[in-house]
Amino acid sequence: MSLTIALLTVSDTRTRADDRSGDALQQRLEAGGHRLVERCIVPDNRYQIRAELSRWIADPAVQVVISSGGTGLTGRDGTPEAVAPLLDKTIEGFGELFRVLSFETIGTSTLQSRCLAGVANGTVIFVLPGSLDAVETAWDRLISAQLNEATRPCNLVQLLPRLTEPAG
C-alpha cells in the first residue's frame, strides 16, 4: 500500500541544496513505493514547527509525517517540545528501540537522542535526529517495516483506518 508522506527538516542552517537527511528520507520513501506530498524546511522555532505540522495533521491527504532535526539538548533544539503537545497518543517503543539500534553505531551518545513518534488526528508522526546516520537507521530498521502492510504480526498501515475511532 502506498502512503502519502510529508517531510519536515528542522534546521537554522540547512537548505534544500544541502539537506542530505531530507534527501535520504525522500529517496527511501519513494523507493518503498510511497508518495511525497510535501517537503519543507523550518528553523528551530517551536511555533513554526507546530504551524507546519498542524497544517499537515489537519490535512486528510497526509497519512505520515517524518521530521528530522532539533532533537538534541542545546538551547535551540525544541522539536520534541513542539510536537509532543500535538500528539493524541505517543508510540513509546519507537524512541526506545531507536536508541537501542543507534547504540550499535554511536555508543552512549545515543542517550542524547530525544526522538519520538505518535499519532495526531489519524496522522502517524516520527520525530528523528537530523544526522544522516540517524534518519537512515530510523527508516531502514524501523519505519519502513511499519509502513509496509506485509510486516507481521502487525504494522501501522493496518491501524491507519482505525486511528480516529472514538474511545469506547
pLDDT per position as a tens digit, 113-155: 999 999 999 999 999 999 999 999 999 999 999 999 999 999 9
Model confidence band, residue 84 (pLDDT cutoffs 50, 70, 90): very high
Q: What share of the chain is helix, strand, coil (3-state, %, to 5)?
A: 45, 20, 35
Interior angle at CA 117, CA 48 and CA 143, nearest 5:
115
Answer for the pair 8, 49: CB distance below 8 angstroms, yes or no.
yes
CATH no., domain 4-162:
3.40.980.10
Residue 1's pLDDT is 85
Q: What is the pTM of this model?
A: 0.96
Give domain limits for the chain. 4-162
